[in-house]
Amino acid sequence: MSNVAKIALPLLLLAAIGGGAAYYLTQSQPDAPPVPSQPAPTPAPKDPEPTAPAQPEVAVVPPQQDPIRTQATNPTGNTHADAKQGVRGRVLLPTGAPAVGLPVLLLESAQNDPLKIFLQNKMGKVHLPLAAGETDAGGGFQLGVLQPGKGVDLRILSPDHPELQHANIKVQDGDWFDAGDLRLEVGLVVTGRIVEVTTKAPVPNATVFMQSSHQSHAMVATPGRERGIVATTDAGGSFQFTNAPRMGLINLVAEAQGFASTQLLNQTLRAEGANDFTIEVELGLPIAGHTVDGDGKPLGNITVTANGLSAKTPQIATAVSDSDGMFSFASLRTGPYLLTATSPQHAETKLQPVMTGDLEVKLVMPARGSVKLRVLAQNGRAPVKSYRLGLKRFFENNPLGIANVPEFPDKNINPGDYPSEFNGQWALIKGLPSGHYRFQITENNHAKTLSPPFQVEEGAPPVEVVCELTLGGIIIGTVIDDRGKPVQGATVTSDMNAGLAADTQIFEIFASMIPEKHTKSSTTTDAQGRFRLPKLAYADYMIRVAHPQYCEGKAINLKLETEGQVYDVGVIQLALGTVIEGVAMVEGVPTGQITVTLSTPPPTGADALPTAAQQAQSPEAQQQAARALFSAKAISDGDGRFRLLKRVPPGTYKVTASRSGGDSPFNALIDMRETERQITVQPGTESLPLEFNLSRR
């Protein structure tokens, strides 16, 4: 199998699995109570009220229950307007007048680190804005970005209009992206009634959440609108929204004291005609109990999730135990449920079936596993007590393979983690789920080291693990230019051996999900062009060489396997290359946030990629393969100017330009198709100007 297939196929499978898992969790995640802040806008019903069939005057009076859950409120935050870079613009009403006093947020883009966002969502974490402010008297806003180059999502909230979004904006150091005039849309009107399922009597003071189906599956929810926008039913059980999205599907969820939560999913909105929905709710019954550890002691702050087990109870609800271990679900649809209790320090506990009306549920949660860890220096004698610790899953049928354990994040260990009960000789590592593992230890004076494998069982006594650190291997080599002269001051960096997929977008997205067995290290070449990277962990490597006057150089498929091994990559030759820069416009106007991408057309025939065996044996074949899959990109600044981040070696390339942050990814594909062209970079060309002019959408 070729090196491309070895890398691309697992990544494509990983993408599919990750996407499926993300969709599954967004479908099955409970509506966790978010963090309160500032009141969220509640659209008030407007005259005339929607007509409804005549109903009995007496509404159902349910039994007294605990208050229903509400959503988090709109956060306030720092605008960071004094930052060196950021996003600015102006918000207009549909009439063209300035929209004054509207919340404007910058959120972290899920494309930065999908795995991190995925895990945060799984744990019910509320995503706070990176910057937040309000539009001024002229509708303007200016929000600073503290970390240039990372994607941010711009969101504008209005109580009277659909939410406006510009996704995945990337501003470079010192650049301010001007989003221009952003005009709000007139939203659709959504009306409806909440009635009791049997008597059809209206239910007053019910809370109704409305959310676009598209937003409900967004990985980063808008703070204050995690469950959508809110309306409250009047005395006749009627509700009204005036800021529904103009296209797509919506989800409606109704909650009221004493009633089970009820939802209508994927309801189609019509731009013409009425959008009226009736939601029938039924009286609910409680489930209550307490969470305890293996010794019967109460456990507080335990998340308990109730999942309906029958088609008649499709409800999912979440509660958190108090300091006495007590938890309760005030109103659930009558029927059987699966209760799941989770905690970072205790084993997950499940109990089923639990019937509504049961108020004496007991969830016993044994402590998660623990390990007594002793770390020794390379000589095997001196103890090491300060290091970075990661937990990696171990596979008995593949001893060289490891996998990340998302529920156990890396942590710093210091002498305070060595309790006196172990005479200060062992660190006590708690909170490990059952399974087979290896520790990965990073320490300044040694190479990254994997511990011997060990097995953890929840509730069992601590396992003893002794790990002796290694000095690892060394990679050396020489860097020359296209005339054969040594290149001094080039930056040489060790990286994961992604092979030919190293610069592809799919690898950039999913690299954070791949366990890093390698050591990230960097150095510069001396006057003779030589470099040396010591203390490298046992792993497969690639070497990147960067210099501002040359194209990037690479050496791939480098394997370090033994203590003290020295791997000489030989000579890495850098091509002089060409600077690609220019201006990106929309209908003749220089525009920022346009992504310009340069890539190589797929090689065929005599230009086909060398096999993995050929690459391993020949540095020239490695360089040929690296050139064949060369790619580079840049994002235009506020003046529409761009410059590719790498010099481009001689050859024929495909270039495209596309706008980022649109409502649909298909718009970017349309831009790329319209702007695609081929260019030829001739040897000895210092710079090549390009110009793109996109049509307005």
What are the pLDDT digits (tens) for 553-593?
989 889 999 999 999 999 999 988 899 999 999 999 999 88
Residue 58 has pLDDT above 50, yes or no: no
* Torsion angles phi and psi, residue 181, rounded to 5: -85, 120
Q: How far apart are CA 200 and CA 208, in angstroms?
A: 17
Categorize the per-residue pLDDT at 623 as very low, low, confident or very high, splitting at 50, 70 and 90.
low
Looking at mean pLDDT, say which of 40-44, 305-309, 418-422, 477-481 comes out highest: 477-481
Categorize the per-residue pLDDT at 664 as very low, low, confident or very high, splitting at 50, 70 and 90.
low
Residue 9 has pLDDT above 90, yes or no: no
Residue 468 has pLDDT above 60, yes or no: yes
Between 250 and 247, residue with greater pLDDT: 250
Q: pLDDT at position 119, please?
A: 66
CB contact at 8 A, 469 and 489: no
Q: pLDDT at position 33, please?
A: 34
Sequence-distant (6+) residues with CB within 8 A of 59 are: 196, 201, 202, 203, 204, 235, 237
Query: If you average pLDDT over every residue of the chain, what do you get?
Result: 82
Q: pLDDT at position 217, please?
A: 59
Between 212 and 527, residue with greater pLDDT: 527
Categorize the per-residue pLDDT at 514 as very low, low, confident or very high, splitting at 50, 70 and 90.
confident
Sequence-distant (6+) residues with CB within 8 A of 692 are: 582, 583, 584, 585, 594, 596, 657, 675
Q: pLDDT at position 57, please?
A: 38
For β-strands 387-395 and 398-404, DSSP reports them as antiparallel
Q: Percentage of residues in the chain with pLDDT exceeding 70?
A: 80
Q: pLDDT at position 18, please?
A: 42
The pair of structure tokens assigned to 279 is 């939601």
What does the pLDDT look like over 85-114, one tens digit per residue?
999 999 999 999 999 999 999 999 887 777
Residue 46 has pLDDT above 70, yes or no: no
Categorize the per-residue pLDDT at 683 as very low, low, confident or very high, splitting at 50, 70 and 90.
confident
CA 629 to chain centre: 27
What does the pLDDT look like over 307-348, one tens digit per residue?
999 877 777 888 999 999 999 998 898 999 999 998 878 888
Percent of residues in the chain assigned helix, strand, coil, to nearest 5: 10, 45, 45
For β-strands 594-599 and 651-659, DSSP reports them as antiparallel
Sequence-distant (6+) residues with CB within 8 A of 586 are: 594, 659, 693, 694, 695, 696
Q: pLDDT at position 292, please?
A: 94
Q: pLDDT at position 20, please?
A: 39
Between 652 and 514, residue with greater pLDDT: 652
Residue 59 has pLDDT above 80, yes or no: no
> Strands across the sheet with 677-681, in order?
631-635, 594-599, 651-659, 677-681
Q: pLDDT at position 62, please?
A: 41
**Domains located in the chain, CATH noted:** 285-365 (2.60.40.1120), 369-468 (2.60.40.1120), 473-573 (2.60.40.10), 579-694 (2.60.40.1120)
Q: Say what the pTM is.
A: 0.65
Categorize the per-residue pLDDT at 11 as very low, low, confident or very high, splitting at 50, 70 and 90.
very low
Question: How crowded is residue 226: how many other Cβ atoms within 10 Å of its Cβ?
Answer: 22
Q: How far apart are CA 219 and CA 127, in angstroms?
A: 10
Mean pLDDT of the region 233-255: 92
Categorize the per-residue pLDDT at 661 as very low, low, confident or very high, splitting at 50, 70 and 90.
low
What does the pLDDT look like over 289-305, one tens digit per residue?
999 988 899 999 999 99
* Torsion angles phi and psi, residue 688, rounded to 5: -135, 110
Between 14 and 133, residue with greater pLDDT: 133
Q: pLDDT at position 323, please?
A: 92
Q: pLDDT at position 613, please?
A: 52
Q: pLDDT at position 27, please?
A: 35
Categorize the per-residue pLDDT at 115 as very low, low, confident or very high, splitting at 50, 70 and 90.
low
Mean pLDDT of the region 65-77: 43
Q: pLDDT at position 338, please?
A: 95
Q: Which amino acid is at 167?
A: A
Q: pLDDT at position 427, please?
A: 94
Mean pLDDT of the region 445-449: 95
Q: pLDDT at position 344, please?
A: 79
CB contact at 8 A, 300 and 325: yes
The DSSP letter of residue 283 is: B
Helical ranges in 71-136 per DSSP H = 114-122
Q: pLDDT at position 506, please?
A: 54
